[in-house]
Each structure stands twice: as C-alpha cells, then as structure tokens.
Amino acid sequence: MNLYTEAVLLGTAAGFLSRLYMLRTDYRNYPSYPHGYVIHLSLGLIAASLAALALPALLEEEYTAITFLVLCAQQFRDIRNMERETLMNLEENKLVPRGTDYIEGIAKVFESRNYLVMLVAMVTSGAVLYGGISLGVPVSLLMILLARFLMRGSFIRDIARVEPGRLHFEKSLLYVDDIVIMNVGDPAAREKILKEGVGLLLHPYDDDGRSVLNSLGQRQALLHDISMLMGNKLEIGEPEWSPAARKNMETGSLALFLMPNEKDMPCLIEAAKRTPVLESAVQKPLASTVGRKAAD
C-alpha cells in the first residue's frame, strides 16, 4: 500500500467517524432514525472521500480535483434547502412549533457539519502525506475532537439567569410576577392555570443577552424546547393552555408561562438553561462603541 492510498483511506475514515460522532438524535427527534442517519452518514462519507483525495490529486498535478470539491460544496447547499423544507413540513403538525429561526439554524448546522467533515479528512490526509500513519492517526483524533468543539454553540445559561416566577391574576389578566402574559376570561381556566401552570423569569446578564431575549425566534425556541422536555397540556382548540413569552419593556427580562405535564421546577429551569441560543438571535450591541456608551 503506497503513501497516497494510506492518506486517502485514513482521511476518509477520519472524516466519516467525525460525522458519526457529530450525528445524534436527542429530544428534538431529528434526524430521524434510521433513515435520517443513512442520508447524513452517506453524504458524510462522500464528503470525506472527496476531501481526502484532494491533496494526493494536487500533488500529482490533477487540478480537476478542485472542481469536484466545488461541486461537493454545491451539493451541501442543497442539503441545507432539503433540511429546511423537511422541517417546515413537519412544523405544521406541532402544537408548540420550533419557529422559522430555529429551523434555519438546524439547516445551517447540517450544511456546516459536512464542511467540518471535509476539513477533518483533508488535514488527516495531509498529515499522513507529511509524516506517515504514525502522524496521521493522532492528528485524525485531534481533528475529530476539534470538529466536535467547533459545533458547540452557546446556551441560555450563558446569557441569562433563570428563576421561578409567580403566577397570579389581576381580574382576568394573567401575570408572571409583574409581567402581563395574556387575558383569560373563563374562571375555571384561571383556576386550572393557577393550580397546574408555571412561570419562569429570565434576566439577561447584559445588553447582548437582552437583545437575544428580545428575538421572537429565540422566545419560540425556548417554549418549544421546554415543552418537548417537560411535556405540555396544550390541546387543539384550547388557547388558554398555550405557552407564552412576554418581556418587561423596562428591564428586558423575559417571562415564560407554560402548562407542563411535569411540574418540576428545577427541571423546568434546567430545560430553559439548556435551550440553545439561535444564531439569528445573536446581536452584540456591546461590541460597538455606541452600544458600550449607551450601557454605561
């Protein structure tokens, strides 16, 4: 087995293993098993093999290899569109939807993971060409761990403090502490809400966090993730049980109202903390001079 063959095989294996390592099904129930796994692992294998072949081909002055990489990148753009379309179709049947911002974030993730697979495969292939298998194996392991690290985003716990909120009514208006949530006209519904509902308060650490919680897409992601983890009593034609999020206009704090199946406050708080911060919601006013001056 010559050096080029070793580089291609190890690079392809490393890239495929990195895709397998990054692929998992959790409470979000996506990708589905087994069909979603087959699709993404197959595309990961194709991406890894093309990237692993690139450096040996260039060393042999086969410059058409660049063309194949460009075509591969175009296919990954199509993956993003496919994921977006699939999730939008599934959205119609969800009582607590993810929201378009959450879906767009998921679609971006599935596209970007294939680029990470290509990076792992190419760097591993280059390490084998430079130092042989003895260098390629440790480099491949480091690259797989690096790819996993690069995919980690931030969570609500990084930008805000989460604590219980007090549910109460003033006439027919439902409040979480001092934040108005909605109007509930039915006395029986008000009684049930006080008995089985919960309120959460999210206090941003700074103006960057405040801008994230101001995003409607981020609020919907919070309601969806908490409802998925803790259950929800919402039913068709019962708007009183709909989870809702409203902000305090003065402080930027966010109040959440839910009717969970499991009224376990520590778990509810943890579910809120573990909700990912959406890329579309991230704004950093404190990164600008004007934003810092306004915050002082």
C-alpha dihedral sign at 247, 248, 249, 252 = negative
Q: How much is the pLDDT for 256?
A: 94
**Two tokens, residue 290:** 């004007």
Find residue 180's DSSP bridge partners: 175
One digit per residue, the tens of pLDDT, for the chain of length 296 reads 688 888 888 999 999 998 888 876 554 545 666 667 788 888 888 888 888 888 888 887 777 777 777 777 777 777 788 888 888 888 878 888 888 888 888 888 888 888 889 899 999 998 988 888 888 889 989 998 888 887 777 899 999 999 999 999 988 899 999 899 999 888 888 899 999 999 999 999 988 888 999 999 999 999 999 998 888 888 787 778 889 999 998 888 999 999 998 888 999 999 999 999 988 888 777 666 665 656 56
Looking at residue 250, its pLDDT comes to 85
pLDDT of residue 200: 94
- b/e per residue 109-148 (b: at least 16 CB within 10 A): bbbebbebbbbbbbbbbbbbbeeeeeebbebbeebbeebe
- Provide the whole-model pTM: 0.82
Q: What is the pLDDT of residue 286?
A: 63
Specify the DSSP class assigned to residue 79: H
Give residue for tokens 């700074």. 206
Parse the chain into domains and list their residue ranges: 3-150, 156-295
CA-nearest of 283, 292, 193, 273 to 240 is 193
Answer whether 160's CB lies under 8 Å from 213's CB: yes
pLDDT value at residue 289: 63
